[in-house]
């Protein structure tokens, strides 16, 4: 046998072996596919049953979901309605809160004013109490003073009774003296008699002099306390101070007096308007 023959034999043997192996594999594989197919078919059937169950459960779940969604939508609508109602209530409550705050602020202001008024009333009450206490004290003092005055009034009434009796006696005596003075040609005017005793301190000026240089008018009168019978001095201040004479009041008006020169003027001097008439300045002769 040649080498080629050997090679061919070997090749044929190898090919036979390969074919045998392939046949074995094919047989083995063909058997496994059938088993696998049956197994897979069984699995498919199981999966189909499971899918049917799952679809049934899915449909049930979808129905539940739809029902729950409807319930959720209803609840959501109810909640939205409640939210809208609550928001409206919140707006109303906010407005009420704003109004209440304004009322509280006003009430606080009114309370502050009321407290201030109460404090003022309290102070006024304290002052009134003090005044009442002072008035009561004054009332007690007044009662004591009234009692003293009543005692004094009784004493004065007794004195008045005595004085009235004495006055009656004095009137009778004055009437007798007045009658006696008039019978002697004298004035019974007490103001003139009293005025003559003490001439008032007056200073005036000569207002007018008559042609005889014996009578004059002065710028002082009864308002200054002059009465007829008063005697005043006459002076001149210009060009140098000098004594002129003395004059007696004949009649008086409120603001002027008519006077008569007593005796002669000093060294025969003439009286002039503007000369001084006084009871307080006396001459140095």
Averaged in consecutive runs of 10 residues, what is the pLDDT profile of the chain (285 residues)? 73 79 68 69 82 80 82 86 88 88 89 88 88 85 84 84 79 71 58 60 94 95 92 91 94 95 92 93 71
25 lies in a domain?
no
Reduce the secondary structure of 101-170 to three states and give it as a string: HHHHHHHHHHHHHHHHHHHHHHHHHHHHHHHHHHHHHHHHHHHHHHHHHHHHHHHHHHHHHHHHHHHHHH
| Total number of domains in the chain | 1
267 lies in a domain?
yes
104 lies in a domain?
no
89 lies in a domain?
no
Indicate which CATH number applies to the domain containing 236. 2.40.10.410
27 lies in a domain?
no
114 lies in a domain?
no
251 lies in a domain?
yes
Q: By residue range, what is the domain housing residue 204?
A: 200-278
Contact call for residues 229 and 248 (beta carbons, < 8 A): yes
> Tell me, what's the pLDDT at 187?
55
Which residue in 196, 174, 178, 175 sits closest to 188, CA to CA? Answer: 178
111 lies in a domain?
no
């Amino acid at each position: 046998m040649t080498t080629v023959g050997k090679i061919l034999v070997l090749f044929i043997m190898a090919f036979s072996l390969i074919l045998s192996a392939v046949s074995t594999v094919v047989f083995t594989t063909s058997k496994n596919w059938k088993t696998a197919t049956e197994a897979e078919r069984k699995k498919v059937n199981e999966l189909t049953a499971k899918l049917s169950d799952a679809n049934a459960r899915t449909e049930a779940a979808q129905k539940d979901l739809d029902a729950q969604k409807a319930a959720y939508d209803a609840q959501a609508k109810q909640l939205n309605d409640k939210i809208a109602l609550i928001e409206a209530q919140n707006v109303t409550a906010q407005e009420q809160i704003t109004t209440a705050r304004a009322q509280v602020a006003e009430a606080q202001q009114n309370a502050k004013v009321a407290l201030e008024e109460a404090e003022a009333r309290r102070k006024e009450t304290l002052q009134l109490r003090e005044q009442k206490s002072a008035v009561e004290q004054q009332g007690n003092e007044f009662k004591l003073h009234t009692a003293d005055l009543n005692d004094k009034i009784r004493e004065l009434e007794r004195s008045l009774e005595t004085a009235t009796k004495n006055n009656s006696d004095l009137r009778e005596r004055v009437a007798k003296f007045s009658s006696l003075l008039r019978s002697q040609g004298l004035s019974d005017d007490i103001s003139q008699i009293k005025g003559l005793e003490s001439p008032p301190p007056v200073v005036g000026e000569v207002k007018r002099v008559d042609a005889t240089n014996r009578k004059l008018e002065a710028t002082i009168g009864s308002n200054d306390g002059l009465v007829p019978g008063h005697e005043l001095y006459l002076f001149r201040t210009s060009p140098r101070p000098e004594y002129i004479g003395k004059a007696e009041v004949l009649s008086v008006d409120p603001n002027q007096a008519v006077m008569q020169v007593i005796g002669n003027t000093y060294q025969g001097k003439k009286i002039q308007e503007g000369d001084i008439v006084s009871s307080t300045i006396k001459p140095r002769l």
